[in-house]
Chain A
Amino acid sequence: MEEIVVVGNGMVGHRLVEALRDRDTDRHLHVTLVGEEPRTAYDRVALSSYFDGADAHDLSLGDLSGPTVDVHVDERVTAIDRDARTVTTARGRGLRYDRLVLATGSTPFVPPVPGHDLPGCHVYRTIEDLDAIIASARDARTGVVVGGGLLGLEAANALRLLGLETHVVELAPHLMPAQIDQGAAALLRALVTDLGVHVHTGTASTAIEASPQGRAAGLVLDGGDRLDTDLVVFSVGVRPRDDLARAAGLRIGERGGVVIDDTCTTDDPRIHAIGEVAEHRGTVYGLIAPGNAMAEVVADRLLGGEAVFTGADTSTRLKLLGVDVASFGDAHGRTPGALDVVVNDAAGGRYAKLVVSDDAGTLLGGVLVGDASAYSALRPLVGSPLPGDPLSLITPEGGADLGADSLPDHAQICSCNAVTKGALSRAIADGDHDVPALKARTGAGTSCGSCVPMLKRILARSGIEQSKALCEHFTRSRAELVEIVRSTGVSTFSALIASHGTGHGCDVCKPAVASILASLGNGHILEGEQATLQDTNDRYLANLQRNGTYSVVPRIPGGEITPERLIVIGEVARDFGLYTKITGGQRIDLFGARLEQLPAVWARLVEAGFESGHAYGKALRTVKSCVGTTWCRYGVQDSVGLAIRLEERYRGLRSPHKLKSAVSGCARECAEARGKDFGVIATDQGWNLYVGGNGGFTPRHAELLAGDLDESTLIRYIDRFLMFYVRTADRLQRTAPWIESLEGGLDHLRDVVIDDSLGIAAELEEAMERHVASYTDEWAAVLADPEKLSRFVSFANAPHAPDPTIDFTTVRDQPVPAGASVDLGMPARRPQEGPR
């Protein structure tokens, strides 16, 4: 086996080893990956999300150790012996190599101003750097970022999130000089200043002054001005970590970086360099996409291939401090004869510039600030003939409809993963007919995600109808069916399928239509034909378990419960022999009830004043709460009271997917409201409303829809939000993907919910009022109706005989299904569809 040693377990080193592991199926290579950081590689690009709730685990790219890959963490390589073909590590390990790959990245440059090394001075590159910043920020009020580039602005946002008064000091005359032009920077500055960040441009930092305790206390600017500060973050650029290569005598570029050729090989044919440590044709790239491309080239070469790296696109799209910024191609118009086409809409917070060839026929590059939605369509057009009048491409109406057709096959659609339009077209021709399939096949869209809208457009233009059909029985989408039911007044599934569908229906369209009928107020979910449409959980008003029994989860609004009621739950569980567990939703789940036992269990609960509660069903589940002002010394509002009110208002509301909510009594957020479809957090002025959060497969934090609301406005907005969701979302689409799918996203939602841009707010509120007024206890209604009750039997010919296949055993003093649990794989996904 050939011995490969990779120095540096950063993003690019990781990518290389991952590619080798996946492609070296015949095991020709043995790889040793040595990294100096105390952990395996993590997503440095997403580093700032560390301030937004992500932890080291979330950022991790995974450990690549395996039969042919050894990974050593926390171990620095100290020397290369090119003659002996070995490297030595700080732990004294010697590693022999046949081929060596340097992926040592770069290190932040700290300008040698006096005081740069005082406690309180930081850089921004590793998780340890961030931990140090967090520790320093604990007793700090003010922070300064030296450097107003891309990373500087990210660091500024981090300081802001840590609650510091934040300044950014930039030497150049404007922010992000490397990426954007003066006009764009002016708008960016205005938007950033609006967020409370103080921007100082055209100013050099000359010294850091110390406090009497010897910590950083002030930053001296070149004019002699001084900014008081407790914390300084340097972000003025990076230097390639080429020290090992230098010491080994490899060729180094003029401004640093290990010189490589198009095969990513240094002047020693056995040594490659990739990522930020490499200099290729005079350029050291500071972005991940070129690094990944180099990793792919070296992986290919180590396996005998002929791949070459001929340079990379440095286009970027970022959301800095919530401001969309993108630059691509020749953004600065350096091509001789290049012309600028600019739309500068300061009032609208938009700036767009296209750089075009002298005949205005070819797109060369551009800059977008404020609204970068046209980026994914424009970037691949660089170097191609313009599909229309340049100005029309960047005016709000024009940008949206850029053709995928006009792109040549070699146009790169996904720059992170170097996927061309041609490759996508081939994948589509091979049968990958949706975005998840394209992602899996080509890797496009799996990194920054900015190309996903373009993937959708290419699919749409490939002649493949992006089917919105619910299933084989309905060609309409769920939202369209809602409109049909609303406008025609159809009130049964049979009538709907007869008039707007084909066949008899299935387990996809039946529950979906049942939910639509229920949300539009069609009586009890088990009324008449509706019963046969429901999924088993709705059908039996309880939650099916793996052995065919059900669980019952009494509703405990807001999680508040009296001792008497707690005792009742305990008694019911004891008397029916049910397994009892506290759920993650602040209630108590009773498991193991047989179908024929359910009515008796409910009867006991109803008698004690409970409702059985939805832990199943695409409906409101729980509204969790923290104790708030009821008990907590920090509480600023009555979170329990509001949670109860919300749960009682929206209970029973049938929706495209389940709905969860929570209310926290202050910004400490003990109820985890931002993990919910709609979350409410108390402020001293009222309530902040967040929407679009969830846990599950793809956790999302809810985003602020509106702030400092009084209770009645809050409830009005939630009414509108929920009803709008119920009407327009797809089947099994939770609120976060729904908001994402709305043209205009959260901003559009805000327009509809708050500014009533569609003029439907009153109607949405009325619909919700009807829901609230018509709500009845579904479980009690079953108990009162012999016809409905008659379904709750074990066998048609032996109504009370217990199902002989159900058998329990005792685990930790409670009954659980006997027999090994069946391996269901990942949470139930059906063969043809995504998460439910």
Chain B
Amino acid sequence: MITATVQPTTTWIDACPAHLPGVEDGVAVLLPDGRQAALFRTRDHRLYAVDNIDPYTGAAVISRGIVGDRAGEPTIASPMLKHVFSLSTGRSLDDEHTCLTTWPVRRRGATVQIAVRTEEGTP
């Protein structure tokens, strides 16, 4: 998926080879600043990246959740306590006060890339 607007301060980093993740599957990606992204591919072949850390338990497990949809909105269910988040906004669909960070994702040739804002840390 090509994201429309990307801030000039943003750096694209290589996340994984383009065949990953599989359809309706996820993988974890270690970001240069030590943070972790959970990268998903939905059935319509869109890519999404959200924070890999489950905000309720602090465990880095979101990438191992189940991809699905709720009323058409693409979702990821945390495997820990089954909280469901929107993949496009990162917002929890069960609890409006909780939100996962999201990152722009794109495919470049044989690679999937994630855009990290440089002020977030050194690439």
Query: Is B84 touching A532 in the complex (CB atoms < 8 A)?
Result: no
Query: Is B82 touching A507 in the complex (CB atoms < 8 A)?
Result: yes
A808 contacts B by Cβ under 8 Å: no
In the bound assembly, the distance between CA atoms of A167 and B81 in angstroms comes to: 55
Set of chain B residues within 8 Å of A535, measured between Cβ atoms: 66, 79
In the bound assembly, the distance between CA atoms of A819 and B74 in angstroms comes to: 33
A831 contacts B by Cβ under 8 Å: yes
A797 contacts B by Cβ under 8 Å: yes
In the bound assembly, the distance between CA atoms of A803 and B63 in angstroms comes to: 13
Query: Is B15 touching A532 in the complex (CB atoms < 8 A)?
Result: no
Query: Is B81 touching A830 in the complex (CB atoms < 8 A)?
Result: yes
Query: Is B57 touching A795 in the complex (CB atoms < 8 A)?
Result: no
> With A544-B79, A828-B81, A830-B81 given, is the CB distance from A796 to B20 under 8 Å?
yes
In the bound assembly, the distance between CA atoms of A797 and B17 in angstroms comes to: 9
In the bound assembly, the distance between CA atoms of A830 and B94 in angstroms comes to: 9
Stretch in A356-364, A390-398, A498-506 touching the partner: A498-506
Query: Is B68 touching A796 in the complex (CB atoms < 8 A)?
Result: no
Query: Is A796 touching B16 in the complex (CB atoms < 8 A)?
Result: yes
In the bound assembly, the distance between CA atoms of A819 and B58 in angstroms comes to: 10
Given A529, A801, A822, which contacts B56 in the complex, CB threshold below 8 Å? A822
Residues of B in contact, count (CB < 8 Å):
46
From B17, B29, B66, name the one whose CB has the most chain A CB atoms within 10 angstroms: B66
> With A797-B15, A831-B94 given, is the CB distance from A507 to B64 under 8 Å?
no
Query: Is A796 touching B81 in the complex (CB atoms < 8 A)?
Result: no
Query: Is B34 touching A830 in the complex (CB atoms < 8 A)?
Result: no
Considering only CB atoms, which chain B residue lies closest to A546 in the complex? B57
Those of A485-507 within 8 Å (CB) of chain B: 494, 503-507
Interface of A is mostly: loop
> With A536-B65, A544-B80, A548-B60 given, is the CB distance from A795 to B29 under 8 Å?
yes
Query: Is B84 touching A507 in the complex (CB atoms < 8 A)?
Result: yes
Query: Is B65 touching A507 in the complex (CB atoms < 8 A)?
Result: yes
B102 contacts A by Cβ under 8 Å: no
Considering only CB atoms, which chain B residue lies closest to A536 in the complex? B79
Set of chain A residues within 8 Å of B94, measured between Cβ atoms: 830-831
In the bound assembly, the distance between CA atoms of A206 and B39 in angstroms comes to: 85
Set of chain B residues within 8 Å of A822, measured between Cβ atoms: 56-58
In the bound assembly, the distance between CA atoms of A495 and B59 in angstroms comes to: 34
Set of chain A residues within 8 Å of B66, measured between Cβ atoms: 506-507, 510-511, 532-533, 535
User: Chain B's nearest CB lies how many Å from the CB of A828?
Assistant: 5
Set of chain A residues within 8 Å of B74, measured between Cβ atoms: 504
Query: Is A805 touching B60 in the complex (CB atoms < 8 A)?
Result: yes
Given A511, A547, A824, which contacts B81 in the complex, CB threshold below 8 Å? A824
User: Chain A's nearest CB lies how many Å from the CB of B115?
Assistant: 15
A539 contacts B by Cβ under 8 Å: yes
What 0/1 readout, one digit per residue, does chain A (798-817) give for beta carbons within 8 Å of chain B?
Answer: 10010111100000000000
Set of chain A residues within 8 Å of B64, measured between Cβ atoms: 536, 539-540, 544, 595
User: Chain B's nearest CB lies how many Å from the CB of A804?
Assistant: 6
> With A797-B14, A798-B30 given, is the CB distance from A504 to B77 under 8 Å?
no
Given A472, A494, A504, A536, which contacts B42 in the complex, CB threshold below 8 Å? A504
In the bound assembly, the distance between CA atoms of A805 and B61 in angstroms comes to: 10
Set of chain B residues within 8 Å of A505, measured between Cβ atoms: 24, 68-69
Query: Is A828 touching B70 in the complex (CB atoms < 8 A)?
Result: no
In the bound assembly, the distance between CA atoms of A507 and B66 in angstroms comes to: 6
User: Chain A's nearest CB lies how many Å from the CB of B3?
Assistant: 19
What 0/1 readout, one digit per residue, does chain B (14-42) give for beta carbons within 8 Å of chain A?
Answer: 11110011111101111000101001001
A89 contacts B by Cβ under 8 Å: no
Query: Is B24 touching A797 in the complex (CB atoms < 8 A)?
Result: no
Set of chain B residues within 8 Å of A475, measured between Cβ atoms: none
Query: Is A796 touching B21 in the complex (CB atoms < 8 A)?
Result: yes
Query: Is B59 touching A805 in the complex (CB atoms < 8 A)?
Result: yes
20 intermolecular pairs with C-beta atoms under 8 Å apart: A494-B43, A503-B68, A503-B69, A504-B69, A506-B66, A507-B65, A510-B68, A511-B66, A532-B22, A536-B61, A536-B65, A539-B64, A540-B64, A548-B59, A548-B60, A795-B28, A796-B27, A797-B14, A804-B34, A805-B59
Q: Which A residues contact B (CB, under 8 angstroms)?
A: 472-473, 494, 503-507, 510-511, 529, 531-533, 535-536, 539-540, 544, 546-548, 595, 794-798, 801, 803-806, 819, 822, 824, 828, 830-831
Q: Which B residues contact A (CB, under 8 angstroms)?
A: 14-17, 20-25, 27-30, 34, 36, 39, 42-43, 53, 56-61, 64-72, 74-75, 77, 79-84, 94-95
Besides the known contacts A504-B69, A507-B68, A507-B84, 5 further A-B residue pairs in the complex with CB atoms under 8 A apart: A544-B79, A794-B28, A797-B30, A804-B34, A828-B82
Minimum-distance CB pairs A-B, first 5: A536-B79, A506-B68, A507-B77, A796-B16, A548-B59
